[in-house]
Amino acid sequence: MQTRTLGTSGLEVSAIGLGCMGISQSYGQPMATPDAVRLIRAAFERGITFFDTAEVYGPFTNEEVVGEALQPIRDQVVIATKFGIDIAGSAGHEGMDSRPQHIRDVVEASLKRLRTDRIDLLYQHRVDPVVPIEEVAGTVKELILEGKVKHFGLSEAGVRTIRRAHAVQPVAALQSEYSLWWREPEEAILSVLEELGIGFVPFSPLGKGFLTGAIDANTTFDSSDFRNSVPRFAEDARKANQALVDAIVAIAARKKATPAQVALAWLLAQKPWIVPIPGTTKLNRLEENIGSAAIVLTPDDLAAIETAVSAISVQGERYSPQHAARIDR
- Catalytic residue positions, numbered: 57
Residue 116 to residues 119, 192, 316: CA-CA distances in angstroms?
Answer: 8, 33, 41
Rounded CA separation 151/25 (Å): 26
Parallel, antiparallel, or unpaired for β 12-14 and 3-5? antiparallel
- What region, left, alpha or beta, does residue 92 occupy, with left being phi > 0 and alpha being psi -120 to 50 degrees? left
- What region, left, alpha or beta, does residue 246 occupy, with left being phi > 0 and alpha being psi -120 to 50 degrees? alpha
Amino acid at 65: V
Q: Strand, helix or coil at 184?
A: helix
Q: Strand, helix or coil at 83?
A: strand
Q: Strand, helix or coil at 79?
A: strand
Please list, residue by residue across 43-69, b when 16 or more beta carbons sit within 10 angstroms of its beta carbon and e when fewer do. bbebebbbbbbbbbbbeebbbbbbbbb
Long-range contacts at 214-221 (CB < 8 A, ≥ 24 apart): 216/242, 217/242, 221/28
Q: Strand, helix or coil at 224?
A: coil
Cβ 239 vs Cβ 217: under 8 Å: yes
Parallel, antiparallel, or unpaired for β 18-19 and 50-52? parallel
Rounded CA separation 192/33 (Å): 40
